[in-house]
Amino acid sequence: MARRVLRVGTRGSLLARTQTEWVTARLQRVHPDLHVEIRVIQTTGDLHQSVPFHQVGTRGMFVKEIEQALYDDVIDVGVHSLKDLPSVLPEGLELACIPEREDPLDALIAPKGQAVRLLPQGARVGTSSLRRRAQLRHFRPDLQVIELRGNLDTRLRKWEEGQYDAIVLACAGLRRLGLAGRITERIPLEVCVPAPGQGALGLEIRCGDRETRRLLAAVHDPDSADCVAAERSFLAAIEGGCSVPAGALATLQGDRLTLTVVLASPDGAWVRRHTISGARTEARQIGETAARVLLEAGE
């Protein structure tokens, strides 16, 4: 019997390739006869690394070309950082698998012993995220929160060169690359709520591809999936009601799911937070309810 070939699409950054290799290694442990071909696909976001995210002018800028490769039958599965994947997928594609999630919090990279609250007055903090920028400015209005683009290695190098006093990245990316020791502070929720889906991977396939879905089921993590379902449901509802920076993080304790969400003005002048709990079977409804609460608070 011929070995099954699974064509997997990924961005070309070191982090994206490392994440994809992690997924494929887990798949091959469960399916020893599976042959995996990793295909690197350049995305819009990769082509415009010198331009601030909010100026690139397209949603899904790290996923569209991978999704097109799925449509064109060039790949069977696309591996995404789930926070990059829009809350509503294009027709004909589905989210088939969410593997076990990595640390979802944001990470501060700064001189040893510092935390966001301990940074010097007026410190220059680099981040590419409007969500992080808004929450940091709200917590510490004195900080100079400035644009930081490039892949993870480039961002770390810019900090080491002294272009910034501190930078904010995702804990997950640093941990996946073996750089957890660089984290000065796992930024607490009361300072910065992470992006919906942060730390999780999303494996996207063509609708109706039962064989690929069967293969991926072996690395699917129901706990991570339920948490992400609440966060992405919140994001979908928010995107229908406003365009301000948003964050969400769900956690599980037994069958109880707790979701913490945030909306903020881009300049950080105001921040709205809400925490809600319920049965994990109601994950999507919890997300929708949280969105309604925050949207109504601004009316």
Which residues belong to the active site? 84
* Residue ranges of E strands in the chain: 5-10, 35-40, 77-81, 93-97, 106-109, 124-127, 144-147, 166-170, 185-186, 201-206, 246-253, 256-264, 271-279
Cα–Cα distance measured from residue 210 to residue 290, given in angstroms and rounded to the nearest whole number? 34
Measured between its terminal Cα atoms, the distance across the chain in Å is 63
Cα–Cα distance measured from residue 70 to residue 68, given in angstroms and rounded to the nearest whole number? 5
275: amino acid identity, one letter: T
Provide the b/e sequence for 251-267 (b: ≥16 CB within 10 Å). ebeeeebbbbbbbbeee
35: amino acid identity, one letter: H
